[in-house]
Amino acid sequence: MAFLNEAKGKKRQFFGTDGVRDIANRGMMTPDAAMKLGAAYAVFLAERGAERPKIAVGRDTRLSGEMLQSALMAGIASSGGDAVDLGVIPTPGVSCAAMRGPFSGGAVVSASHNPAEYNGIKFLDGEGFKLTDGDEAEIEEIFLDDARRRRAEPERIGTVRCGEEYRAGYLESLGRLFRGIEDKSYPIVIDAANGAASDFVGPLFSEWGGGVTFMGDVPDGTNINKNVGVTHIEALAAKVCEKGASLGIAYDGDTDRVLMCDGRGRVLDGDVMLWVIGRWLASRGTLGAGVTATVMSNMALEDLLAKENIKVFRCQVGDRYVLDTMKREGARIGGEQSGHIIALDYANTGDGLCSGLLFLKAVADLGEDVSTLADRFERYPQVLRNMKVADKNAVMSSPLVEAAAKEAERLLAGKGRMLLRPSGTEPLVRIFAESRDAELMNRAADIMEEAIGKAVEGR
């Protein structure tokens, strides 16, 4: 498929691909805005039948987190909902609480992999799944409508209470997975990104027999993701080599993503994890229909899984689209190169801690040699070119560009693939090409780049 456009539906003004984000104390990340978002979400749930919405609320380690979480929970209470404060906890920990506890939904104050000066708010449903685009658009409508975003009568004001037991419950669920790993004899390095995983990795990996080196586990409110975590995987790679470890594991700020390094510091990304965990699930008879991957996943993943008679289902970029495809096709695991992995028998959203443990268990059970994975996963060369354009829609609908796409696809037929898609957040059109033949791949990308240039110039 040559063209990928943004999903259709209600247009969202504030919500992006992963909730609402802004610089802390600016725009949509002020206490006023957070309070209104909390109230809007409580009303949203009430209008869908929750007589007195009960919402699990967590945050990551950012300095602005307590301020925004307090405002968010005040908004929930002001609209007649009950907020349960889970404190600092990974996003999947809130999902776990929402799924297993008596909750109507969940909310997380986090900007994930973004720098510390940013923050964000995202919502989950009562099963711990992320909301749909339509649901988020509906919350925006309530947010903007003062009359609809009603305040509760004095006797109906909600409560705010501590939910420490849900943090403990999440850690215990991870502990059960950890105890099932047969081989814990080799040295590893864990990078918590100075984020939400920081308080969890110590207790979770305390019984790792081969020895653990921790890094990025001393958050101070301003160092989340700073030169650590999945966005700075080179720091983990260097530490693995320095310590002579066999494996490194890194998370992002809210711990919904995980990436690995082998003993030589080579990155094992989400594609490699899907290859390993997918085969392990298949060996247990719990894979379902196959593995879901985005259009950006390397074609090597399909080649290697095809040897095991495992089908790969492709979807557009974004974890919610991964989940939608998994549900539609009956696949029990899916994910992205970035390390956002969803394993539905274990979690209802991306869970870096859980996915990392599943990888460790799969490696042990399959008898894998981690040091050979990067060599055996023979990637197709890929190229990604970003072209700045004033009007993405005009470019995507240009006859010149359409004709060039057909020519590029003809060139790559049976030897690779080409994708063209507009950025969801920037004035860019992205050209992606992949082929075993690097020269062919670059020729296809050149054809598209030239056509887009002519379309922009109006030639």
In tens, the pLDDT along 284-334 reads 999 999 999 999 999 999 999 999 999 999 998 888 899 999 999 999 999
pLDDT of residue 422: 87
Q: Which residue has the tokens 């007195």?
A: 52
pLDDT of residue 6: 47
The rounded distance, in Å, linking the Cα atoms of 387 and 456 is 10
pLDDT of residue 5: 53
Catalytic residue among 112, 198, 297, 435: 112
* Residue 106 CA: distances (Å) to CA of 5, 89, 447: 30, 12, 47
In terms of C-beta distances under 8 Å and separation of at least 24 residues, what long-range contacts does 238-246 make, across chains too?
238/265, 239/189, 239/191, 239/213, 239/215, 240/189, 240/265, 241/265, 243/187, 243/189, 243/213, 244/187, 245/186, 245/187, 245/188, 245/189, 245/213, 246/186, 246/187, 246/188, 246/210, 246/370, 246/371
pLDDT of residue 12: 76
pLDDT of residue 7: 46
Q: CA nearest 15: which of 118, 141, 147, 116?
A: 141
pLDDT of residue 2: 52
Please name every residue paired with 215 in a beta bridge, in sequence order, or none if there are none. Answer: 191
The rounded distance, in Å, linking the Cα atoms of 43 and 76 is 8
Q: Which residue has the tokens 């062919």?
A: 440
Helix (H, G, I), strand (E, B) or coil at 388: strand
Please name every residue paired with 249 in a beta bridge, in sequence order, or none if there are none. Answer: 190, 260
The rounded distance, in Å, linking the Cα atoms of 315 and 419 is 12
Please tell me the pTM assigned to this model: 0.92
Orientation angle between helical segments 399-412 and 438-457, nearest 10 degrees = 170
Backbone dihedral angles phi then psi of residue 105, each to the nearest 5 degrees? -175, -175
Q: List, for the chain, all residue ranges whose pLDDT scores fall below the cut of 50.
A: 1, 6-8
State which amino acid sits at residue 108: V
Task: Give the up-direction half-sphere exposure of residue 404: CA atoms within 13 A in the CB hemisphere.
Answer: 23
pLDDT of residue 95: 98
* Residue 149 CA: distances (Å) to CA of 42, 44, 124, 218, 384: 9, 9, 19, 39, 44
- Per the annotation, the verdict on 112 as an active-site residue is yes
The rounded distance, in Å, linking the Cα atoms of 382 and 453 is 21
| Strand 188-191, strand 247-251: pairing | parallel
Q: Which residue has the tokens 């925006």?
A: 140
pLDDT of residue 1: 42
Burial class (CB in 10 A: 0-12, 13-18, 19+), 390: exposed
